[in-house]
Structure 1
Amino acid sequence: MADQAVLSIRNVSRTFGTRRALDDVSLDVRRGEMIALIGPSGSGKSTLLRSISGLQVIDPGAGVIEAFGAPVQSAGRVSSRVREARIRIGFIFQQFNLVGRLSLFTNVALGSLGRIPFVRGMVGAWPAETSTAVMAALARVGVAEYAAQRANTLSGGQQQRGAIARALVQKAKIILADEPVASLDPVSARKVMEILRDLNRTDGLTLVVTLHQVDYAMRYCDRVVALKAGRIVYDGPAEGLDKDRLIDIYGPEFEDVFWEGAPK
């Protein structure tokens, strides 16, 4: 069903020293949603995203995270079944996380390692099915002509599109994208956001995207979740984010940088 929850976060906290990065956060993500996570720097956006994938361990206690009904972690421990969930969750990092000395093709093919023998992947003996999937994914995001180039010779936008292609080859059902456009110029950033939105609307992929650019969140995502000091302070439609609410989330200084044409 379209409204079925594929991610369930319950009473999750994460403390670093004396700072509570996440403070009793609960959230459901339904199948086929594209959600923007917004909030000031240090509000807990990236910590939440990394916790969902099991890359960050949550505090001991009542906190539970499930994906597709399978446990990711609970009570401060990553589940022994976390690999089941990770196979279906793609993670796109701000800094692309590609291996610079490898070709774009190989970087994208690495997305298939969860489904093929590890040794075959390490020696580059990709099955025909994987090679076909890689080229199809690269074509889908518009960088197929760069397949043979080393990743570190590509622009930031090209590398980020490669990272998206890798998630497609992984056959991810959920894509978690942590500030995927923060390092890109405005044109490349818009292209990446358009690709992500197309994957959501055309392929039905579920996406959770952390963004500093509030205008991008409102333009490309139907649902917005705002964090402030580790707590969810808004969860609703993008059109519900009026100027006063955004100032409450970001502080009075936000008015000074409020973009032209935004809600009044």
Structure 2
Amino acid sequence: MTEAAVLSIRNATKTFGQRRALDGVSLDVRKGEMIALIGPSGSGKSTLLRSISALQTIDSGGTIQAFGAPVQDNGRVASGVRKLRTRIGMIFQQFNLVGRLTLFSNVALGSLGRIGGVQGLLGLWPAETKHAVMAALHRFGLAEYAGQRANTLSGGQQQRGAIARALVQKAKVILADEPVASLDPVSARRVMEILRELNANDGLTVIVTLHQVDYALRYCERVVALKAGKVVYDGPPGGLDKARLIEIYGPEFEDVFWEGAPQ
């Protein structure tokens, strides 16, 4: 693991039956980077994020480290991964809020790693958590919805709530797996702007998987492209011209190439 890296992946491979979702992926992520993971469906983007957060194991022979400590090694999740997870916020496409709970309670759940499960289950949030929750909701334009059940909110509101939860968690790395795939264009841009703001102003390291290549080029300083489980591009957005993107996605990509994209 390099000195400035907060995440280090070495030879990560993951097989599901006969299919190899990851194929020898090696990657270093430096503190304060905002990285887009792009690639066709089934290229391994979500598998890689889930492996970094130890939601699934990689095959033996590979290693993943976070903040200089092992997440998993040789097919096994490390014993100290629970502590590491308190510093890694995971944001999902489907928001992962508890629908019957209020938005306030959902965001407060981000503090469970520090205050303990019993307090959280009873809703006995300490003053520090209450202040952090309301500050995060206010920051993301959600304060007026604090007492509203999560399942009554729009998709964009729920996703902003999920990001607020990661902020209350005090995460140093945010892994966002297709966070805008279920959102309308206005809500999607707002979520991407929030992630970029957290990266630029709060110094958080952000890795976001995206199907919208234009969002990757617009919001991220580094783009990593996967194809059939392998890294086929790792560099600045400017290096992804139309021809390179067609190589990654296939010739049909040209049919849906957006207006104003790099030529």
| Range class of TM-score, shorter chain | over 0.9
The answer for the alignment partner of 2:110 in structure 1 is 111
Aligned letter for 2:176?
A: A
Q: How does 1:119-134 map to 2 (within 5 A)?
A: 119-134=118-133
Alignment partners' CA distance in 1, 2:84 and 2:207: 15
The answer for the alignment partner of 1:247 in structure 2 is 246
1:4 is displaced (CA, Å) by 1.1
Aligned letter for 1:248?
A: E
Aligned letter for 1:146?
A: Y
C-alpha offsets along residues 228-260 of structure 1, whole Å, 9 cap, x if unaligned?
000000000011110000000000000010000
Alignment partners' CA distance in 2, 1:139 and 1:30: 29
The answer for the alignment partner of 1:71 in structure 2 is 70
How many residues align? The count is 261
1:117 is displaced (CA, Å) by 2.3
Alignment partners' CA distance in 2, 1:96 and 1:4: 31
Q: Please give the secondary structure, in 2, of the residue aligned with 1:109.
A: helix
Q: How does 1:178-217 map to 2 (within 5 A)?
A: 178-217=177-216
The answer for the alignment partner of 2:29 in structure 1 is 29
1:100 is displaced (CA, Å) by 0.2
Aligned letter for 2:17?
A: G
1:142 is displaced (CA, Å) by 1.4
Q: Please give the secondary structure, in 1, of the residue aligned with 2:217.
A: helix
Q: How does 1:1-264 map to 2 (within 5 A)?
A: 4-60=4-60, 62-264=61-263
Alignment partners' CA distance in 1, 2:83 and 2:111: 14
- Following TM superposition, the consecutive aligned residue runs of length 4 or more in structure 1 with deviations greater than 3 angstroms are none
Q: Please give the secondary structure, in 2, of the residue aligned with 1:260.
A: coil
Alignment partners' CA distance in 2, 1:91 and 1:117: 19
Q: Please give the secondary structure, in 2, of the residue aligned with 1:192.
A: helix
C-alpha offsets along residues 17-73 of structure 1, whole Å, 9 cap, x if unaligned?
00000000000000000000000000000000000000011012x200000001000
Alignment partners' CA distance in 2, 1:134 and 1:215: 32
Q: Please give the secondary structure, in 1, of the residue aligned with 2:114.
A: coil
C-alpha offsets along residues 83-112 of structure 1, whole Å, 9 cap, x if unaligned?
121010000000000000000000000000
Aligned letter for 1:138?
A: L
Q: TM-score, normalising length from structure 1?
A: 0.98
Aligned letter for 1:16?
A: F
Alignment partners' CA distance in 2, 1:86 and 1:173: 10
Alignment partners' CA distance in 2, 1:144 and 1:236: 38
Q: TM-score, normalising length from structure 2?
A: 0.98
Q: Please give the secondary structure, in 1, of the residue aligned with 2:120.
A: helix
Aligned letter for 2:46?
A: S
1:118 is displaced (CA, Å) by 1.4
Q: Please give the secondary structure, in 1, of the residue aligned with 2:113.
A: coil
Aligned letter for 1:157?
A: G
Structure 2, unmatched stretches of 5+, are: none
Q: Please give the secondary structure, in 1, of the residue aligned with 2:26.
A: strand
Q: Please give the secondary structure, in 1, of the residue aligned with 2:125.
A: coil
Structure 1, unmatched stretches of 5+, are: none
Alignment partners' CA distance in 1, 2:224 and 2:141: 30
